[in-house]
Amino acid sequence: MKKDITIPEVENVFLAAVQEWSDDFMEKVWYAYLVNDSDFNLDSVMVVSKAFGTIDGEMKKTSVLRHAFVEVPAVSVVKIEMVEKSLLVLNNEFMVTFFIGNTLYDKKFIFKSNLISENNTEEVPILFVDGVMVK
């Protein structure tokens, strides 16, 4: 029976962390974006995020945040949330679930601890700004 179940692979959909100026904080802050670099619209998109890891030998984890988007058009981006700077030392996990047509896709994206930094940036497709990507 297990051989009859096909799990589709997510392609050309990834996450990027991009640093932007915030007037609220009067400094640059990191924002997580969902990038759809495919030829298909993503429907009924759900993003569940959390951070976890150890700080000074003590296990830490954040509460779970949930975001829903009716549609993410082909070749577009959507801003998910701000990644608070104290969380950059933790693993930041984003579980993304969406439909393309009648097929359900899901993938877990993890920004490993300390991955989100200016030293690890590269140009993000579609946004054309420097950021940290996980595919």
Q: What percent of the chain has pLDDT over 90?
A: 90
Distance CA 41, CA 56 (A): 43
Average pLDDT over residues 10-37: 95
Q: What per-residue confidence (pLDDT) applies to 7?
A: 73
Distance CA 44, CA 105 (A): 11
Degrees, nearest 5: CA angle 52-97-127: 85
Cβ 124 vs Cβ 16: under 8 Å: yes
pLDDT in tens, 32-70: 999 999 999 999 999 999 999 999 999 999 999 999 999
How far, in whole angstroms, is CA 74 from its chain's centroid? Answer: 17
pLDDT in tens, 100-121: 999 999 999 999 999 999 999 9
Q: What is the DSSP string of 19-68?
A: EEEETTTTEEEEEEEEEE-SSS-EEEEEEEEEEEEEETTEEEEPPPEEEE
In 3D space, the residue among 13, 20, 11, 124 whose CA is nearest the CA of residue 81 turns out to be 20
Confidence of residue 29 (pLDDT cuts 50, 70, 90): very high
As a whole number, the mean pLDDT across the chain is 94
Q: What per-residue confidence (pLDDT) applies to 11?
A: 92
Q: What per-residue confidence (pLDDT) applies to 1?
A: 59
Residue 26 has pLDDT above 80, yes or no: yes
Q: What per-residue confidence (pLDDT) applies to 2?
A: 63
Element (DSSP H or E) covering residue 98: strand 91-100
